[in-house]
Amino acid sequence: MRIRASIPVTLCLLVAACGPLPDVDWPVNGGVDNIRYSPLSEITRDNVGQLEVAWTYDSQDAFEGSEMQSNPIVVDGVLFATTPTLKVVALNAETGTLLWTFDPIAASGAPRARARHRGVTVHDDRVFVAARSYLWALDRQTGQPIASFGQEGRIDLREGLGRPAETLSVSASTPGVVFEDLLIMGSSVPETLPGAPGHIRAFDVRTGEQRWMFRTIPAPGEFGYDTWPPGAHEISGGANAWAGMTVDLSTGLVFAATGSASFDFYGANRHGDNLFANSVLALDARTGDRVWHFQAVRHDVWDWDFPAAPSLVTVTREGRRIDAVAQITKTGYVYVFDRRTGEPLFPIEERPVPASAIDGELLAPTQPQPVLPPPFARQGLTEDMLTRRTPEAHAAVLEQFRALESGMYEPPSLAGTIVFPGFDGGAEWGGAAFDPDSGLLFVNSNEMPWIVQLIPNNDTSLYNANCASCHGEDRRGSPAVPSLHNLGERFARDELAALIRQGTGTMPGFPDMGRRNTNDIVEFLITGIDRGADPAVTSAPGWLPYRNTGYTIFLDPDGYPAISPPWGTLNAIDLNSGEIRWQIPFGEFPELAEQGLTSTGSDNYGGPVVTASGLLFIGATNFDKKFRAYDALTGELLWETMLPAAGNATPSIYRLNGRQYIVIACGGGKNGAPSGSSLVAFALPEDE
């Protein structure tokens, strides 16, 4: 028998006198100010254990390897989200009943493919969603494209960047933000060359007209142009705000955090610091003019792009309240700046870093590192950190470790270099939550080392030149990248050619490859016959003498992380003092837990949300498929439940008709975990 916590008499009298509590929406991706905070407090430490499933919606379009990372938007009783195949759904937020659906992939005539996507933007009468290279505006009531926006409801994100649109691969996995009559967008672009620039743009919310653009790879005469080789603005790519934007309505500033420049691991063609890659940017939201910036990694060759948009926080210093912006990183650092001036609120030191032994490479001699807060992730793998799960596992990883380079900021090498924290964190795209009352910033972190190895790009294989850096020369992929074996059994030749041209999931498109080269790669993928690269490819400006062998997680022979636990953590960081208030292992592997090896932590994707009642809700853990609630002040676990698939997404919290709900997308599919396609909403039992 379940014992229900009593409701305070004062609350009962308040409800009786004033009627149901007002509805509270979840209006923007990441919540207002991008701090994943809810002012709702009906669910408390005392009654959170009574949470039950209020409704479930399954879009039933999951497939092997698909993901569902949407942070649902809830406005006026309607929930909007995207599904594994990038359909947009509108649901009754009280019951989960489907109201309408729109399929932007089918509407554009593109082939069905994997899509990694984090939701929609809702503004006034319309819903904005990016799919492949198109940005759509949909009628909020019907889900139909609004004909007056762009061309029959959509604009092409490849246009307006100053380069031929047909040669570019541009999309957006994270929703844009609205300021006044502007929709401000980042983008997803290739991490190899040739690639599109990651310029930040603002579009008219009514017409789709491009109103301003901030060049993250500066043109001649612009600030930062001298941090690149001459002419880099014409051929270089990346430096994109793929993780989204944060708008401050009170100051008229929009904040972005950018990714690394392309190619990720070798930059001999981009000598210099490469502004505005790896930078926190404060722009005038009306004009796109730069107000201030901070670059955290100069001339990045570690893929240490900023993984999440900045969070707008308010901190206390010497009794004074300061409006600030906090930025989490893959390296485990948190940077905190005065929101208006960009002045650091904790000291940042310039520390020397190793030079590269790869010919042609020229790295920055120092990198900026904050003194406080301390890193929330371990940095620079050492021998004493290797796994001891079994003697056999330790011996195997020790032998491999001694053959590799390792150390914080150790550059990629021909022997192979361990990057730790790895490409998926420390922190990742799920972002951080912030409690304005306690001043605590909550960050989930991955503790997984990765291996990057450079090899000469001196063969004539078209596949190796374009695809092997991710999928490997053997086409087997990795836990993070799908295998390309047996593609002929899953796709027709014309479907494969379309996927190569347009991209799928995290894979960029290759629209400039040309018909012959595209058909030759299709032939190789189906038959194994490699006809060699067209000389035009190897002589193109984007051709580099080195490439990487693939994206490899450093694992032991049994498939577990090669380091000692924790393999994932949950952290509370006091932004007033710069101290880590608490840190706990986060997640587990069910099969190891059955053997008694618990509290290991695991890889985790998707962010937390914190409430005014002191609760921290988070899914994220990849293999145990749990959804948890913690005491935000202590880290004590208060409640957990199983989800139909891993909740690799940030939850949303809202109140509708007097009842508080927590909803999370359950898509799984990351690093080999089972895929799903459900939205699950939880609430306290209704009074009988």
pLDDT band of 550, cuts 50, 70, 90: confident
Distance between CA 408 and CA 361 in Å, rounded? 18
> What amino acid occupies position 421?
P
Q: Are 364 and 461 in contact (CB under 8 A)?
A: no
Q: Are 189 and 238 in contact (CB under 8 A)?
A: yes
Distance between CA 667 and CA 116 in Å, rounded? 10
Q: What is the pLDDT of residue 499?
A: 67
Length of the chain: 688
Domains in the chain (CATH in brackets) are 20-169+429-448+565-688 (2.140.10.10), 380-419+449-455+549-557 (no CATH), 458-543 (1.10.760.10)
Q: How far is CA 207 from CA 137, 153, 183, 511, in A?
A: 10, 9, 11, 27
What are 18-76's pLDDT values in tens digits? Answer: 567 999 999 999 999 999 999 999 999 999 999 999 999 999 999 988 999 999 999 99
Q: What is the pLDDT of residue 8?
A: 44
What are 206-227's pLDDT values in tens digits? Answer: 999 999 999 999 999 999 999 9
Distance between CA 118 and CA 403 in Å, rounded? 39
Distance between CA 224 and CA 216 in Å, rounded? 9
DSSP-assigned beta bridge partners for residue 428: none
Distance between CA 553 and CA 547 in Å, rounded? 17
Distance between CA 645 and CA 678 in Å, rounded? 8
Q: What is the pLDDT of residue 483?
A: 72
Strands (E), 470-578: 546-548, 552-553, 568-574
Residue 502 predicted with pLDDT over 70? no
Q: Average pLDDT of 646-669?
A: 97
Q: What is the 3-state secondary structure (H, E, C) of 313-373?
A: EEEEECCEEEEEEEEECCCCCEEEEECCCCCECCCEEEEECCCCCCCCCCCCCEEEEECCC
Mean pLDDT of the chain: 90
Q: What is the pLDDT of residue 484?
A: 75
Q: What does DSSP say about strands 609-611 and 37-38: parallel, antiparallel, or unpaired?
A: parallel
What are 396-420's pLDDT values in tens digits? Answer: 999 999 999 999 999 999 999 999 9
List the one residue out of 440, 437, 380, 384 whose CA is nearest residue 409: 380
Q: What is the pLDDT of residue 109?
A: 72
Sheet hosting strand 440-446, strand order edge to edge: 433-435, 440-446, 568-574, 579-585
Q: What is the pLDDT of residue 4?
A: 32
pLDDT band of 474, cuts 50, 70, 90: confident
